[in-house]
Structure 1
Amino acid sequence: MTIRAISGLAALADAADAFLIDQFGTIHDGETPYPGAIETLRTLRAAGKRVILLSNSGRRASNNIHRLAAMGITADCFDASLCSGEVAWQVLRAAPPAYLRRRCRVLLFARDPALDILEGFDIAPVETAEEADLVMIAGSEADRHGYDALWSRMAPAAARGVPAICTNPDRLMLAGGRLHPGAGALAEAYQAAGGTVRWFGKPHADVYDAALALLPGVPHARIFGVGDSLEHDIAGAVAAGCRGLLVRTGIIDGLDDAALRVEMRRFSTLPDAVAPRFAF
């Protein structure tokens, strides 16, 4: 298994017309842009490349864009910003499942208490699994409360057969410089316990369908998914017919080539190239 190492995105300039670029772990650490990331985004656009920021953020797009702007990643850095929470909202509004066509009591798991991903529906937030008609898994607070505490709140709903929606499939998240179980890990456990989960976000198709709709006429083979997750950013891009650039930051920071090959085999995914970081 050969890893094609490149120093930056300039090596892909002749092969790419557009980039689907991950956020957390790729261009920022959740609070601060990585060195050179903003300049790289602007350089890509100046070179005529289309730049779509594609995130597994479980919130709506407006929240995500506001958060990016607060870091200095302003609208001139990208052509569009698309996140799993926004795609979930659009899909659910277009074809609401039965439990959202009536008043629905929602148990939310997220980094903050906002339920904007269910804006326009008749919902009532609840605090316990016993009250819930729906479990919404938009984020993880495992770094704050511990995984076991979160799962103990969620497990009774799975046992009751309460449906769940996951708008952030990331199984790992970085917080405080450490890896913790992400929303995707909670959703996987929910599914394993017999609950049903509807997934939105990378690597699932809905978010790529929405992203590719923003790039009409661009051959998929000339679109690169860029990110730090083989399981989400690279596998999702490849499944959509695009190509992949893995950056060695975020959740794979510190992995050597041997460990990286193990991960590639684990997820049956081979990126077209690997770069040390997001840089031109």
Structure 2
Amino acid sequence: MTSFPIIDGLSAIADRYDALLCDVWGVLHNGERAYPGVPEALANFRAKGGRVLLLSNAPRPSDVLPAMFEGMGIPLDVYDGILTSGDATKAYLASHKHGTRCYLIGMERHLTLFEGTGVTRVEEDAAEFILAASLFDADTEEPEDYRTQLEALAARKLPLVCANPDIVVESGDRHIYCAGALARLYEELGGNVVYFGKPHGPIYDIARARLAEIAGGEIADARILAVGDGMATDIKGAEAAGIDALFITGGIAAADCGDHPERPDADKIAALMAAARLHPVAAAARLVW
């Protein structure tokens, strides 16, 4: 088996690209603080004329995130914009495709997804559809805790809108379940799910349009690099969209990429990618310059 190309930093391939579609959780930060070297890597890419669009499966509108990022050590001037699955979800809710009465599985902060859409949060017995943004308490719950409830909702044939396709994310030194895990279970139970965010195609169409706005003109797919740590979201989504990807091994998949997060094993990465039939252009332990 051929070993996988591992680079020390973004500078090794940066000249091949004019824009980054950069994942956030697991690449820029661990849910609590920025990884060392990340702000500098983004700043250096922009200094050479590159554009940076943060592309996140966060189930919240993007306008609430800059302040949170600053608190983690990611300043405003190292990126050009943010696009979240929450943005795409909110636009979809406003279409009233499934009605206006929604049962929310998520936290109080996710009520921002309803603002200006004409959709109202209701109890599950009055709902026309479900919005899954997160578990109610991701620190203590797992998807199986929702099986009985989801079985009843699926029996009513209520569509479920998933605002975050991620299955798990890194939070500090733990992994926590996301809305994608609930959506997967709902599908297993026979329910219909509509997904927003990576790896699904619509988010990449929106991202291309946003990059064109930022750059003042269209950027060819061949000059865009997606950066992410999620094989099933970031890497799979970029490949399906015809965009190169850089796989960050020190995030959610760190345990599968070697014995130490900062020293990925090229053979193990090659085996992972072969099994998943994915073809990122390179891998790096962290997003550094």
TM-score relative to the length of structure 1: 0.90
Q: Is 1:239 equivalent to 2:240 in the alignment?
A: yes
Structure 2 contact 143–185 (Cα < 8 Å) conserved: no
Query: Partners in 1 of 2:178 and 2:55 — Cα distance?
Result: 18
Deviation (angstroms), 1:111: 4.5
What CA deviation, in whole Å up to 9, does each residue of 1:79-117 have, x standing for no partner? 111111012222443x430413xxx1x222224443221
Determine the C-alpha separation between the residues in 2 that align with 1:122 and 1:210: 22
Which range moved further: 253-262 or 114-123? 253-262
Question: Root-mean-square deviation (CA), in Å?
Answer: 1.9
Preserved contact between residue 20 and residue 223 of structure 1 (Cα < 8 Å): yes
Aligned mate of 1:274, from 278, 283, 286: 283
Checking the alignment, whether the CA contact within 8 Å between 1:228 and 1:248 is kept in structure 2 is: yes
- 1:239-258 equivalent positions in 2, closer than 5 A: 239-254=240-255, 255-256=257-258, 257=265, 258=267
Q: How does 1:170-189 map to 2 (within 5 A)?
A: 170-189=166-185
- Note the 1:1-280 alignment, pairs <5 A: 1-93=2-94, 95-100=95-100, 104=101, 106-127=102-123, 129-140=124-135, 141-216=137-212, 217-254=218-255, 255-256=257-258, 257=265, 258-280=267-289
Shift in Å, 1:69: 2.5
Partner SS for 2:252: helix
Instruction: Give, in whole Å, the separation in 1 of the partners of 2:35 and 2:193.
Output: 33
1:160–1:98: structure 2 CA closer, same or farther, 3 Å change rule?
Answer: closer
The answer (yes or no) to whether the contact 2:59–2:110 under 8 Å persists in 1 is: no
Q: CA deviation at 1:165?
A: 0.3
Q: CA deviation at 1:259?
A: 4.2
Alignment: residue pair count: 274
2:250 partner amino acid: T
Residue type of the alignment partner of 2:281: D
Partners in 1 of 2:151 and 2:64 — Cα distance? Answer: 29
Structure 1: stretches of 5+ with no match in the other structure: none
Aligned partners of 1:245 and 1:272 also within 8 Å: yes
The answer to whether the Cα contact below 8 Å between 1:143 and 1:175 also exists between their aligned partners in 2 is: no
SS at match of 1:53: strand
Q: Residue 199 of structure 2 contacts residue 234 of structure 2 at CA under 8 Å; is this kept in 1?
A: yes
SS in 2 for 1:215: helix
Moved more, 154-163 or 134-143: 134-143
Q: What is the rounded CA distance, in whole Å, between the counterparts of 1:87 and 1:276 in structure 2?
A: 30
Deviation at 1:6, TM superposition (A): 0.6
- 1:230–1:263 Cα contact (<8 Å) kept: no
Q: Distance in 2 between matches of 1:133 and 1:226?
A: 37
CA contact (8 A) 1:132 1:157 kept: no
Instruction: Give yes or no for contact 2:20–2:53 (8 Å, CA) kept in 1.
Output: yes
- Within 2, Cα distance between the matches of 1:53 and 1:15? 19
Instruction: Quote the offset at 1:4 in angstroms.
Output: 1.1
Identity, in percent, stands at 36
**Paired residue secondary structure (1:69):** helix
Distance 1:6 1:36 in 2: 15
Aligned-residue offset at 1:231:
1.1
Structure 2 length as normaliser, TM-score? 0.88
Q: d(CA) in 2 for partners of 1:23 and 1:227?
A: 8
State the shift of 1:120 in Å: 2.0
Q: Which amino acid aligns with 1:108?
A: L
| Aligned equivalents of 1:181, 1:68: Cα separation in 2 | 21
Matches of 1:175 and 1:215 in 2, distance apart? 29
> What SS does structure 2 have at the residue aligned with 1:145?
coil
The letter of the residue matching 1:253 is A
CA distance in 1, matches of 2:67, 2:202: 23
